[in-house]
Amino acid sequence: MTTNSRRDFLQKLAASAITLPFLSSQAAFGKATPLAQHSQGPVLRVALMGLGGYASRVAEAMQSCERAKITGLISGTPGKLEKWGAKYDVPEKSRYNYTNFDEIRDNPTIDAVYIITPNALHHDQAIRVAKAGKHVICEKPMAVNAKEGQEMVDACAAAGVKLLVGYRMHFEPNTLEVVRMRQSGELGKILFFQGLSGFRIGDPNQWRLDKDLAGGGALMDIGIYAVNGARYMVGEEPVWVTAQESKTDPAKFKDGVDETIQFQLGFPSGAVASCLSTYNMNYLDRFFLNGEKGFAELQPATGYGPIKGRTNKGELTQPHVVHQTVQMDEMAGIILDGNKPIVPVDGLEGLKDLKILDAIYQACSTGNKQELKLV
């Protein structure tokens, strides 16, 4: 994508700007460092926390960002800090570990921290970042339950910083085209959504299969795409959920780590959703939306791309973009300019998903329909 076409795309997604500069002045770094500038506006200076596989993808994608750059690193592995610091030109004074990262409050070259650590660590880390006066970008799921999520929202509000969640699909062009079609009425009254999210998970010793780190199993990791997708595809908040769990390998999927969950959502208009979340089946990455006047299908729907799809009017032909590049540029606009994305990515959006996840697990354990109150 050319610079001009990306600029047009970003401007199309963003609303009007209200500049909210985030400046800090700390003696440890000398004079206050003003926000870096780009032709599109100030540049968001980001510290990456948790230098694992997905952080590598984010870091590489950010090299093409126009409004976001890596200026800090946080990791528990000294070797990673040294290697990443050299690779991304992050000075030693802007590299931190999990014990001392509260010191970012004294670093005026960092505006926000992107938390890319195991799910169960998000809560405490986000609150510490907020107390240090930095904006929080947190990978999904935002936390392991709604109680923790609410505490994160409250902490960021109290600190006067923004809390955003890494919902990269909210900026993906084919996804947004389906949202546009639904909003414009081209699909008519929405009747049904199907979300299939799953893959066969490998290494049984990885953190995603450790309840203390993951907070659950497939639902937390991959099923949340279907939960979140049902909401932005249907365009309503669900009012009830039912769910059923099945497990074929209890040795690999221990207590509290779900292997496969089927869940159903009901919406105020009468629309329903039927979804599947699993760690034991490949080739499951599909969204299907059915309305009285048409349909839309995305397959793959949530992978790293390219996202492909079709509607009753034909193939979707929006340009493929690197999800994390656009996500970080858009988040810079949200944090620095007050832009409003077409589909929200704030902490309240993440909290709604957590309330649904809580209800799905409750429905599985009780066998009963759970009422939802998200608005």
Q: Which of 114, 167, 225, 232 is catalytic?
A: 225
Our answer to whether residue 131 is catalytic in this structure is: no
* Residue 225 annotated in active site: yes
112, 77, 111: which is closest to 95 by C-alpha? 77
If you write DSSP's letter for every residue of 269-283 in order, what string do you get? TS-EEEEEEESS-SS
| CA 189 – CA 40 distance, rounded (Å) | 38
CB atoms within 10 A of CB 61: 21
Question: Cis bond leading into 141, ω under 30°?
Answer: yes
The residues that bridge with 70 in the sheet, in sequence order, are 46
**Cα distances (angstroms) measured from residue 130 to each of 21, 22, 25, 61, 366:** 16, 13, 17, 25, 36
| Pair 41, 363: CB distance under 8 Å | no
Q: CA neighbours within 13 Å on the CB side: how many for 308?
A: 4
233-272 in b/e burial notation, b at 16+ Cβ within 10 A? bbbbbbeebbbebebeeeeebeeebbbbbbbbbbbeeebb
| Residue of 62, 65, 66 whose CA lies nearest to 88 | 62
Cis peptide before 306 (omega within 30 of 0): yes
DSSP 179-198: HHHHHHTTT-SEEEEEEEEE
295-327 burial by CB neighbour count: b if 16+ within 10 A, else e? bbbbbbbbeeeebbbebeeeebebeebbbbbbb
How many residues make up the chain in this entry?
Answer: 375
Burial 148-172 (b: 16+ CB within 10 A, else e): bbbebbebbeebebbbbbbbbbbbb
Q: Which of 69, 96, 134, 140 is catalytic?
A: 140
Catalytic machinery residues = 140, 225
